[in-house]
Structure 1
């Protein structure tokens, strides 16, 4: 078996949180605050601002474009040794997100541009009912940090 044919083994999950929210504006702010708090508690306080912004954008999109009356949306946070993943699931699988340029006079339409700029990787996964939109932030070890210590990778596009 060649290296290309080998099946990749997923990294062990170090921390995980999953919570369902009602499709209201208040739920977006609740999910944002919960994410910031958990990321800091999980040992990555420098990552909490980016994570909170990402969950806010994804939850807002679930509210605006994925809500179905009587159905909740889910925020699923996962931390491994190398990645922090935010996944937001909603019930509208037929309404897939896509990047677009918003006009100067438009109030909406920039959320996924923010996600694409901030996240190291993002995408959409189909579900039996609905979809999941995810964003991932890579964690890297700095050369001056002791083994086992991790922090957010400094990206040249972030300033």
Structure 2
């Protein structure tokens, strides 16, 4: 069983919210537990809008489901290469998104190209009980 889902959305708060909602519904349909994927998608969609926004360009959300793994990809058109998860000061209200992705994902990374595209991806290994048939 392999499934694929892709949606292209505007680089706005509304687009990020819609990405989360559509992804959760798709994952429910596939029978995937939602805790880790929901958090990862929320953080990556927010980052795509806040840090990957380029006027007039959209971002894409892709989900790849295999029997063992769910791969989440957020593709934007900003090629910034400063994506290391560093802890913000304790008083900061923002800046913990990639730390949360690293905590919820079994693996994650960034792929650049073709210019100016950037793909931030995360993988969650599935356990047998994560899927319903």
Q: Which residue of 2 aligns with 1:151?
A: 130
TM-score, length-normalised on structure 1? 0.77
* 2:26 maps to 1:38: yes
Distance in 1, matches of 2:69 and 2:63, equals 11
Gaps of 5+ in 2: none
Q: Distance in 2 between matches of 1:31 and 1:94?
A: 22
Whole-Å Cα distance in 2 between the matches of residues 118 and 56 of structure 1? 12
RMSD: 1.5
Mapped pair 1:74 → 2:54: no
Tell me by how many angstroms 1:119 deviates.
0.3
1:135 to 91, 106, 122: 122
Q: TM-score, normalised by structure 2?
A: 0.91
The gaps in structure 1 that reach 5 residues or longer are: 1-12, 142-149, 153-159
The SS at the match of 2:53 is coil
Q: Which entry has the higher C-alpha Rg, 1 or 2? A: 1
Larger RCO (alpha carbons 8 Å, 6+ apart): 2
